[in-house]
Amino acid sequence: MRPVCFCACLLASIALSMPAAQPAPSASDVTVILDIKGPYSQTALKEMQREATQIIQTSGVRLDWTRKEDVSHAVFNDLVVMSFKGSCTFDPAPPLYDELGPYAVTRTANGEVQPFGEVDCDRVVSSVRGAMFGGDFAHGEMLIGRALGRVVAHELVHMLTKSGIHAHEGVQRASLSGKQLIAQSLPLSAMDVDRLAAERRTARTANRP
């Protein structure tokens, strides 16, 4: 199977209302706000968060997760918004794609990737289903969650480093196959661990009173 172009940047002016990011006593470095527009599986959602948290935390960055519906009075150190369109479940099967679009998109303004991303669940699920075989089908929702977690981790690296740079290995490669999305492990490259760690050191210094 042909590897799929991973993500695309949308040049857009940002006009979304977001909660103000303020210094807070939260134990996490970054809160990911989930805006899920279509049907989803709880199993896949939980696994997605677990997988993305595990990938990103190797750089020392701690993630926290919340739903968009729950953020009205919350206070965060730093936040990103991750939207999901399509159906984020193993069943029913998504429509077959003739054209291979990206798994996700981020927004770019003034040359910097902004903290807004959108995952195309139908696209991810379609790719994962095509890569599954044998016993994989007994763990469909878990594998969908794993794949979504890797897509989210990939976009988080773009957003947290404000950069569209890709790596030659690991989860930050420019293209990944469905097989790579559900393989046993897909960590950050050493380069990406360093980039994220450096970015967070800068952010923590800036937030210090």
Which residue in the shown chain puts its C-beta closest to Zn ion? 7
Angstrom distance (rounded) from CA 28 to CA 61: 8
Closest distance to Zn ion from the beta carbon of 2 (Å):
17
Select 142 or 148, whichever has its Cβ closest to Zn ion. 148
- Near Zn ion by CB under 5 A, which window of 6-14, 59-67, 121-129, 193-201? 6-14
Please provide the DSSP assignment of 106-164 as one string.
Answer: EEEETTEEEEEEEEEHHHHHHHHHHH--GGGGGGHHHHHHHHHHHHHHHHHHHHHHT--
Distance of CA 80 to the CA centre of its chain: 10
Select 102 or 140, whichever has its Cβ closest to Zn ion. 102
Asked if 7 interacts with Zn ion (CB under 5 A), we say: yes
Contact present, 119 and 104 (Cβ < 8 Å)? yes
Angstrom distance (rounded) from CA 69 to CA 152: 19
One character per residue 42-71, x = contact with Zn ion (rule: CB under 5 A): ------------------------------
Q: Out of 1, 2, 6, 186, which residue is the one contacting Zn ion (CB under 5 A)?
A: 6
One character per residue 66-105, x = contact with Zn ion (rule: CB under 5 A): ----------------------------------------
Asked if 125 interacts with Zn ion (CB under 5 A), we say: no
Contact present, 126 and 28 (Cβ < 8 Å)? no
Give the footprint of Zn ion on this chain (CB under 5 A): 6-7
